[in-house]
């Protein structure tokens, strides 16, 4: 298995690792800061360098570890490599991911809705909620409240807790519970003392880093499911 360094430090831009397996154009490392994708957050991209070689990481694949799909020379098993993620892209996605948490907090607290799906982009996001009678006016109000919370400057931290503890607190699961990963230890993302959510992605350290959230459009995806597109400026 791969030691997923980003789970403990989302700001780790570079790292050293060892190739433990290869498979076609993919390499498996013993540790990585590259996010492999999941939960609506896209995979990281970047570069791997080693003595005499270099390759671009163009995609990631999960399965018995995090596989790095590369473009260029494939390093041999046992090679010591230095990885560097495309930081500007990652950081823009981190801002968007934290923004989604703040927005979901407002929706859950005031409208009793959960996220049924989402897709993150650099400095933008698409969020689906199971909230009936949701419209542009309500979306604007939700994002306005989220902006107020973000500008208060809440610290963002992570904690790892047993699954049974999370199951005692359904309010910690803002996505549809069926989307929760089947693992024994759940990672919680805590925004100050206002919000706790189970999540495995990367986030900024302080909500002020999010910037201003703006509603781009709202779509009706069924009687109860509504889709909101948000960008960061």
Residue 179 has pLDDT above 80, yes or no: no
Task: Please state, in angstroms and rounded to a whole number, the distance separating the CA atoms of residues 84 and 33.
Answer: 8
User: What are the angstrom distances between the C-alpha of 3 and each of 33, 55, 119?
Assistant: 9, 21, 25
**Of 85, 104, 130, which residue sits at a domain end?**
85
Shared domain for 81 and 97, answered yes or no, is no
Q: Token pair for residue 200?
A: 């495995």
> Same domain, yes or no, for 32 and 69?
yes
pLDDT for the residue 233: 93
- Region 75-101: mean pLDDT is 97
pLDDT for the residue 180: 58
Residues 177 and 108 in one domain: yes
pTM for the model stands at 0.92
- Structure token digits, residue 198: 């189970």
Q: Does residue 204 share a domain with residue 109?
A: yes
Q: How confident is the model at residue 18 (pLDDT cuts 50, 70, 90)?
A: very high
In a domain, 5, yes or no: no
**Domain extent at residue 32:** 12-85
When the pLDDT of each residue in the chain is averaged and rounded to a whole number, the result is 92
User: Do residue 68 and residue 99 come from a single domain?
Assistant: no
pLDDT greater than 80 at residue 181: no
What CATH number did the domain enclosing 182 receive? 3.30.980.10
Section 92-118 average pLDDT: 93
The reply to whether 103 and 39 lie within a common domain is: no
Place of tokens 């100050």: 192
* Over residues 128-138, mean pLDDT: 90
Whether residue 6 lies inside any domain: the answer is no
pLDDT band at 14 (very low <50, low <70, confident <90, very high): very high
Asked if residue 227 belongs to a domain, the reply is yes
């Amino acid at each position: 298995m791969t030691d997923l360094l980003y789970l403990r430090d989302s700001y780790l831009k570079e790292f050293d690792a060892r190739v433990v397996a290869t498979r076609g154009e993919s390499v498996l490392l013993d540790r990585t800061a590259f996010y492999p994708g999941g939960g609506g957050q896209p995979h990281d991209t970047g570069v791997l360098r080693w003595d005499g070689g270099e390759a671009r990481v163009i995609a990631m694949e999960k399965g018995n570890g995090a596989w790095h799909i590369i473009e260029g020379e494939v390093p041999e098993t046992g090679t010591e490599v230095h990885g560097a993620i495309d930081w500007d892209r990652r950081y823009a996605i981190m801002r968007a991911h934290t923004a989604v948490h703040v927005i979901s907090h407002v929706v859950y607290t005031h409208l009793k809705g959960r996220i049924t799906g989402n897709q993150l982009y650099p400095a933008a996001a698409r969020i689906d909620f199971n909230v009936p009678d949701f419209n542009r006016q309500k979306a604007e109000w939700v994002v306005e409240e989220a902006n107020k919370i973000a500008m208060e400057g809440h610290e963002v931290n992570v904690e790892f807790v047993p699954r049974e503890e999370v199951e005692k607190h359904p309010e910690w699961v803002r996505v549809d519970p069926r989307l929760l990963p089947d693992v024994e230890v759940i990672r919680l993302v805590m925004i100050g003392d206002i919000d706790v959510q189970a999540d495995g992605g990367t986030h900024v350290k302080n909500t002020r880093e999010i910037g201003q959230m703006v509603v781009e459009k709202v779509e009706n995806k069924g009687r109860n499911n509504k889709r909101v597109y948000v960008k960061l400026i």
